Chain A
Amino acid sequence: MKTSEDLLIKRLQEKKTSSEAFKELVSLYKERLYWHIRNMVKDHEDTHDVLQNTFIKIFKNIHNFKGESKLFSWMYRIATNEAISFLNKRAKRNQISSEDLQQQLIANLESDVYFEGDEIQLKLQKAIASLPAKQQQVFNMKYFQELKYREISEILETSEGALKASYHHAAKKIEEYLKSN
């Protein structure tokens, strides 16, 4: 039996119904993908740009989607790749390393009108920025978005065991950072 997701994909792939189906898709996933990207790129305007590119790519490539993975994880994967690509380009343009870019993004948060975190939340962002890129992604998805390891595993194409170890290391480093700063 076809699920509602299968039907939505079919409608997205048919020219006649694609526009309405696309609006439904955006409505279903806009907030989840927005916060997923926002946790990675930090700034609202940048997030908006990446979100737009993500949905455009989803729409343009939906005919290549064969249902071998879940639509949800396929879309998250596109969003993750778009955000990484955005950050790499930004670092390259500013002629700085990815690590320095992370520090720069966090420094900008202090004057960002769309950041309402308190001192401890800012400190947490600094701690996250000090982690290797993959650990940052795993921590953000597990801690803030509360995704299941199974879901993160599909998105990042990494085994659940490796993800658990990654999250464990990330949490430990954050704990240490928060205690010593």
Chain B
Amino acid sequence: MKKEKASYNPKSGFKTPSGYFEGLENKLLEKMKLSETLGEKKSAGFKAPEGYFDGLEDELLEKVNKDEPKVRKLVTKEVFLYAASIAAMVIAFASTFYLNPETQTSWENVELSVMESYIDNNNIDLSTGEISNYIFQKGYIIDDTDLNKVDSEAMMNYLDENLDEPLYMLDEN
């Protein structure tokens, strides 16, 4: 069938977005098909409990006032060395008195969780902006120069378990 010629006068000043007419037939057909099958009703079928939205403002305000940002403190190299030296002294001291010489340990074997709780208990003051030079693998600390040795699964597990505020990575744009 011959296409009807557009009776549009470009002088009117109106225009359409580019590509507007392309595939318009299919889009309309598709819309009609879905409407035919589903009817005009566009509700998903969910409902909220009666009165749920009333007073939500106060409830949420109370929540945000209570909820402190959960920023996990990360260890800088200097602080780590400081903490490590203290831990080493504690271990050396403890081993002198309690440990059998054959089972002596060293600070390299101190688990990160021990360091973290030492720091988390405010024994060392850290700013939240400090970025760690260290990352740990299988519970032990390694230097950032060894990053190529980090197992990617261990890295993902660490981030998943320890990143409380993923939004800090979310860019506004």
Contact = CB atoms under 8 A, between A and B. Distances in A.
Interface string B55-78: 011101101110101000000000
B56 A30 contact: yes
Contact of A78 (B49, B64, B167): B167
Contacts of B45: 109, 115-118, 121-122, 125
Nearest to B33: A175
B46 A114 contact: yes
A68 B173 CA distance: 7
Interface residues of A, number: 54
Contacts of A7: none
Nearest to B66: A56
Given A23-B58, A69-B173, A171 B34 contact: yes
B40 interface: no
B27 A168 contact: yes
A44 B48 contact: yes
B60 A65 contact: no
Size class of B's contact patch? Answer: 35 or more
B11 interface: no
Nearest to A39: B44
B167 A121 contact: no
A124 B38 contact: yes
A38 interface: yes
B49 A121 contact: no
A44 B56 contact: no
B48 A125 contact: no
Given A26-B56, A26-B60, A85 B46 contact: no
B43 interface: yes
Contacts of B33: 175
A109 B47 CA distance: 11
Given A26-B56, A174-B34, A121 B43 contact: yes
A146 B58 CA distance: 29
Contact of A178 (B30, B37, B65): B37
B53 interface: yes
B39 interface: yes
Contacts of B64: 22, 55-56, 59-60
B15 interface: no
B166 interface: yes
B30 A117 contact: no
Nearest to B46: A38
A144 interface: yes
A26 B40 CA distance: 30
Contacts of A153: none
10 contacts: A34-B48, A44-B46, A56-B63, A56-B67, A66-B172, A81-B166, A117-B44, A125-B44, A140-B44, A175-B37
Interface of B: 26-27, 30-31, 33-34, 37-39, 42-49, 52-53, 56-58, 60-61, 63-65, 67, 69, 165-167, 170, 172-173
Given A55-B60, A115-B47, A178-B38, 18 more contacts: A19-B61, A38-B48, A42-B46, A44-B46, A44-B48, A56-B64, A57-B167, A60-B167, A66-B172, A114-B47, A115-B46, A116-B46, A120-B38, A125-B44, A146-B42, A157-B173, A171-B34, A179-B37
